[in-house]
Chains A and B, each alone.
Chain A
Amino acid sequence: MVASGNAGARLLDFLKPPVAAIQDFYILAGRALLNLFRGPHYLEDVILQMDAIGVGSLPIVILTGFFSGFVITMQMSRALAQYGATDQVGSIVAITLVRELGPVLTALLVAGRNASGIASELGSMKVTEQIDAMRALGTDPIQKLVTPRMIATCVMLPMLTIVADFLGMIGGFVIAYFQIGLGVSQYWTTAYQALEYNDVVQGLLKPFVFAFIISLVGCFYGLRTTGGTQGVGLATTKAVVAASVWVFVVTSLLTRIFVNLH
Chain B
Amino acid sequence: MTAPANPPAQESLLRFEKVTLHFDEITALDSVSFELHAGDTRVVLGAAGSGKTTLLKAAIGLIRPESGKIFLFGREITGLKETQLFELRSGVGVLFQEGGLFDSITVEENVAYPMLNRPQHSESLQEVEQKVKEALRFVELEQTLEQYPSELSGGMRRRVGIARAVVSEPPLVLYDSPTAGLDPITANTIMALIVKERDVKNTGNLIVTQRYQDGQLMANFRYNHSSGHLEPTASNGGPGGPGSNPTHTIFMVMKDGRVVFEGAQHELEASQDDYVQKFVPKHA
Binding site for B on A (CB under 8 A): 125, 128-130, 132-140
CB-CB under 8 A from A139, the residues of chain B are: 86, 117
Name the segment of B7-15, B96-104, B194-202, B274-282 touching the other chain. B96-104
B82 partner, pick from A125, A128, A129, A140, beta carbons under 8 A: A140
CA distance A136 to B89 in the complex (A): 6
Q: Nearest chain B CB to A43's CB is how many angstroms away?
A: 15
A–B Cβ pairs within 8 angstroms, 27 of them = A125-B102, A128-B98, A128-B103, A129-B96, A129-B98, A130-B100, A130-B101, A130-B102, A132-B62, A132-B96, A133-B94, A133-B100, A133-B102, A136-B62, A136-B92, A136-B94, A137-B94, A137-B113, A137-B114, A137-B117, A137-B118, A137-B164, A138-B87, A138-B118, A138-B119, A140-B82, A140-B86
CB-CB under 8 A from A133, the residues of chain B are: 94, 96, 100-102
Which residues of B, 11-39, contact A by the 8 Å Cβ criterion?
Answer: none
B70-114 vs A, CB cutoff 8 Å, 1 = contact: the mask equals: 000000000000110011011010101110111100000000011
A135 partner, pick from B62, B97, B101, B114, beta carbons under 8 A: B62
Interface of B is mostly: mixed
B60 at the A interface (CB under 8 A)? yes
> What would 6 more interface pairs be, CB under 8 Å, given A133-B94, A137-B89, A137-B117?
A129-B98, A130-B101, A134-B102, A136-B89, A138-B117, A138-B119
CA distance A138 to B88 in the complex (A): 9
CB-CB under 8 A from B102, the residues of chain A are: 125, 130, 133-134
CA distance A125 to B149 in the complex (A): 13
B90 partner, pick from A128, A129, A138, beta carbons under 8 A: A138
- Knowing A130-B102, A132-B57, A132-B62, the reply to whether A140 touches B83 (Cβ < 8 A) is yes
Binding site for A on B (CB under 8 A): 57, 60, 62, 82-83, 86-87, 89-90, 92, 94, 96-98, 100-103, 113-114, 117-119, 164
CA distance A129 to B87 in the complex (A): 20
CA distance A90 to B258 in the complex (A): 73
CB-CB under 8 A from A128, the residues of chain B are: 98, 100, 103
A138 touches B57 (CB 8 A): no
CB-CB under 8 A from A125, the residues of chain B are: 102
CA distance A135 to B60 in the complex (A): 9
CB-CB under 8 A from B83, the residues of chain A are: 140
CA distance A133 to B97 in the complex (A): 11
Which 8 pairs show the lowest CB-CB distances between chains A and B? Answer: A133-B100, A138-B86, A129-B100, A129-B96, A136-B94, A138-B118, A137-B114, A139-B117
A130 touches B97 (CB 8 A): no
B103 partner, pick from A130, A138, A140, beta carbons under 8 A: A130
A138 touches B114 (CB 8 A): yes
CB-CB under 8 A from B114, the residues of chain A are: 137-138
Chain A, Cβ-Cβ closest to B100: A133
CA distance A64 to B87 in the complex (A): 49
Q: Nearest chain A CB to B240's CB is how many angstroms away?
A: 37
CA distance A133 to B160 in the complex (A): 13
CB-CB under 8 A from A129, the residues of chain B are: 96-98, 100
Q: Nearest chain B CB to A194's CB is how many angstroms away?
A: 46
CA distance A128 to B176 in the complex (A): 13
Q: Nearest chain A CB to B186's CB is how many angstroms away?
A: 19
CB-CB under 8 A from B97, the residues of chain A are: 129
Q: Nearest chain B CB to A202's CB is how many angstroms away?
A: 37
